[in-house]
Structure formats: structure tokens, C-alpha cells
Amino acid sequence: MAIITEQRAGGVNRCAFLDMIAWSEGTSRIPNSDDGYRVLVGATPAHPLLFDSYVAHPNVLNKAFDSTAAGRYQEKWSNWVSYSKSLSLRDFGPLSQDQMALQQIRERGALPFIDIGNFEKAVRLCSNIWASLPGNGYGQHTNTILQLEAAYTGAGGALIQTA
């Protein structure tokens, strides 16, 4: 579960969307990972790769993936440097990771769609951020919109009601 409160995030749908991303990226399913907040890129449930300290982004390069992605939302070190400054984040702890992910979602214009439950539109807008979301060009495994919707509603997210 996201650490950020519903009130601070801006509602239950936003927290559920964060939980869906963590599920999609596979981080929340890694044992002993603080619900994904301590995961390094390339981790699997059978072979967890974790970092020990939240003081700063671990900046560990996984050569197999040519990536420094880390944390619940698999944030690259270079992105972390920029966002930590612009958002005045003191560490790479769970709350900071949640705030950074929400800022990325905000920048894609997806928050209003999340708020009203237009889940598919929000996912489309965010697909270029997270490789596990459908519709990106990363060439990695992606989850289907139905799988993502199940994770989102399972985390308490509401969908727009259509007639």
C-alpha cells in the first residue's frame, strides 16, 4: 500500500493508482521489500534485489537492464536527481517515492482522469513513464488493461460509471 495518505495524495483513487503501478512493475510482490519501496531493477520474488538505506537513491546500475531503476515505482537515478530538487525531497524514503510518482502522473495530465475514475485514459497518459503499462515502446513485458484495472479496483480505486 502507498505510504502517502489519501488526504495528502488527493483521494483514494490516486493511492489506488499508485498501488496499481507497484503491482504492475512487480515491486510490491517482492518479499521483505517494504511493499516494493526497497527494490532494485531486475528483482523477482525468487531473487529479490534490495537496497538497505532510504537516505538517497541507491544509484545501482543493473548492467543486464542498463538501468538504475529503484524503489516501488522503479525510478531511475537521473530522474531522481531532478525530482528530488524540484520537489525538495530529503531522502528516497517511501513518502518521497510516492510524491515523485504523483508528480510524474500530474505532469502527464492524468490526475483529473484518475480522480473521476477514467482509468484507461489515465493509464494511456502514463504509459510512457512505466514500462509495464500497455502502449509504450520499451519492448518489455506489459500488463493488460484488464489486469491493471483489477489491481486498481482491488486497491480501492473507483471506475467511471457509464450508462
Which residues have a catalytic role annotated?
25
Closest by Cα among 39, 103, 107 to 73: 39
Distance CA 143, CA 21 (A): 10
Residue pointed to by grid coordinates 483513487: 13
62 strand-pairing partners:
67
What is the C-alpha to C-alpha distance for residues 138 and 24, in angstroms, rounded to an integer? Answer: 14
**CA atoms within 13 A of residue 38's CA, in its CB half-sphere:** 14
Terminal C-alpha separation, the chain: 31
Calpha distance 64→93 (Å, rounded): 25
Distances in Å between the alpha carbon of 34 and those of 48, 51, 137?
12, 11, 30
